[in-house]
């Protein structure tokens, strides 16, 4: 499968978040053989937990499933550029690669505001690919926030 195929899986998670009234961000974690380990979406409102971002939930689920805190053979696909918390967790989990759709000029920590994922002061760096299915990822976010403003 290709990056676009895996991003479509993350978009499916993001649409589920949208349907649940959550900010529509989805993430999937894929192993080095291209096997889906897990998929998650934002559950901040549902869990009343500001840390319940799709990326964090996916990292937790994968660590539990694999019984390992280091995910060094994995790629995380996220529909939106991870925030500083999520980017830091990707570094701590030693994720090999990050692929995301839309950049986030307000909170992004892979390139927009900060570059946590490739910071030379940290002991791990990720390979990052940005802009995969960006238009679709961005459209979902824009539609969600337009609906929120209209309510």
Residue positions annotated with a catalytic role:
55
Which single residue is written with the structure tokens 């995380």? 76
DSSP-derived pairing of the beta strands 127-130 and 75-80: unpaired
Dist. CA 110–CA 87, nearest whole Å: 7
Is residue 8 a contact partner of residue 133, using CB atoms and an 8 Å limit? yes
Dist. CA 105–CA 119, nearest whole Å: 18
Strand spans (E) along 63-147: 75-80, 97-102, 127-130
Torsion, Cα 73 84 45 64, to 10 degrees, reads 20
DSSP secondary structure code for residue 106 in this structure: T
């Amino acid at each position: 499968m290709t990056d676009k195929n895996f991003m479509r899986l993350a978009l499916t998670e993001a649409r589920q978040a949208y349907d649940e009234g959550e900010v529509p961000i989805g993430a999937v974690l894929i192993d080095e053989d291209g096997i889906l380990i897990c998929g998650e979406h934002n559950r901040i409102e549902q869990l009343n937990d500001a840390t319940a971002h799709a990326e964090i939930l996916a990292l937790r689920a994968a660590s539990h499933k694999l019984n390992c805190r280091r995910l060094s053979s994995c790629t995380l696909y996220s529909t939106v550029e991870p925030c500083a918390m999520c980017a830091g967790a990707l570094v701590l989990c030693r994720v090999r690669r990050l692929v995301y759709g839309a950049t986030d000029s307000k909170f992004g920590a892979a390139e927009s505001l900060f570059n946590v994922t490739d910071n030379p002061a940290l002991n791990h760096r990720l390979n990052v690919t940005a802009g995969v299915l960006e238009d679709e990822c961005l459209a979902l976010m824009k539609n969600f926030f337009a609906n929120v403003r209209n309510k």
